[in-house]
Chains A and B, each alone.
Chain A
Amino acid sequence: MPIPNIPPGFKVADIKTELGSTNNSLKALGGLANPPLADTFLMSDFANYTHYYSGFYRNDGVNDYAQIAGGASTNAIGSGALTISFWVRNNGSAHQNHQIVNIAPGFSSNDRLMIDYNTTNNQLRFNHRQGSSNNIRAYYMNNNSSKTGLSGNWTSTNRGTTNSNNWNMLTYVYDGKQSGLNGLTVWWNNQQLDYQVNSTSGSRSNLSMTNIRFGENIHTSGSAGNATMDFDEFKIYSRLLSSTEINSLYQAGSTNPASAAAAGVTSNLISQIRFDGGVVSDAEGHFTGTAGAYNGGQFIAY
């Protein structure tokens, strides 16, 4: 992008103001400073900074995915308290399945936490899968139309109630201390959904949250469930968020998901993946790797 003309009388000392050092934003260049600008900013510091952008991740629905391999094993899916919240924009015009997020201890087994959309039954699903056991809770979109605004299958032409740029915030609050999936609530934007199917089989114990994949099954690529979606502002909390906090996150992102951080809901935030600057990295450090997109997935600036 071209740098704007420097106005007459502009002083070197004005650069700090022009770059917006008070909010750590390289506004004049249309992006953010990484790392944030120091209070005392020197011209010589420019060499230490890279310019990156606020953006989101786009999955094509054919073979793309984004992931981080490697994460702390201490936070587990199972016996504890977790809240997983993120924004998606459904770009699939066909009636199709969407593998939205998988979190798992490995890349080759069925063991995983799986969040997906199933078009056959028009369901949002949460599955704590272990061995051959599935603990699934499913939410019919048509039975939740008063909450979702959907009147049929979830597609790019029928996105239901969204923010002003067609994004949905999905939140899964999971109290693992309760038996089965009794401790699960699912939220469409700021509306709690009613579940219609609760299928539990076999035991359910802790799964280590070591790896995460967006847009595809964690053990495959190019599946029929490859998501045709945009992703942004993925967060995991090691506690149960309240309805007030979920509403705050949604309202803060009512125009742009990237603004959801302004809600200030940060207590026990253990993972935050923002897809800024063309990388998949965790600002809170639970997932330790840094990666990009695979098979042609795109990072797009707002």
Chain B
Amino acid sequence: MKYYLITIEEFNANHIDCLHSPAYSLDGSKCIIEVEDGEVVENFIESFESGKAVNAYRYAETEASNWIPTDEI
């Protein structure tokens, strides 16, 4: 598996039928998709080799406010 950060426009244009549900940013402008090894994803903002790498990115201080809701319940 590999993970890609893409814009919502790119998701709607080319990945709306993706196998696994994406993880969306809080404002809905970006999402992270998970694809099978070998599947080609173009126009991505960033790629990640593992779920751990995804979370190192989105839970970092600079990004956390874009992914973690204030009311975490």
Contact = CB atoms under 8 A, between A and B. Distances in A.
A93 B56 CA distance: 7
Contacts of A92: 52, 55
14 contacts: A60-B1, A60-B51, A61-B52, A61-B54, A62-B23, A63-B32, A93-B55, A94-B56, A97-B72, A114-B73, A222-B23, A224-B67, A224-B72, A225-B72
A51 interface: no
Given A94-B56, A96-B55, A228-B51, A63 B22 contact: yes
Contacts of B1: 60, 296
A63 B34 contact: yes
Contact of A62 (B34, B72, B73): B34
Contact of B58 (A118, A224, A294, A295): A224
In this complex, the interface size class of chain A, counting residues with CB under 8 Å from chain B, is 20 to 34
A91 B20 contact: no
Interface string B20-55: 111110000001101000000000000000111011
Contacts of A114: 73
B72 A295 contact: no
A97 B68 contact: yes
Contacts of A228: 51-52, 55
Given A95-B59, A118-B72, A221-B21, A62 B67 contact: no
A64 B3 CA distance: 12
A238 interface: no
B72 A120 contact: yes
A223 interface: yes
| 7 A-B pairs with the lowest CB-CB distances in the bound complex, closest first | A222-B23, A60-B51, A94-B59, A295-B20, A224-B68, A94-B55, A221-B21
A92 to B, nearest CB: 6
Given A63-B20, A97-B68, A221-B21, A127 B51 contact: no
A221 B22 CA distance: 8
Nearest to B36: A296
A85 interface: no
A134 interface: yes
A202 B64 CA distance: 31
Given A62-B3, A63-B32, A94-B59, A223 B23 contact: yes
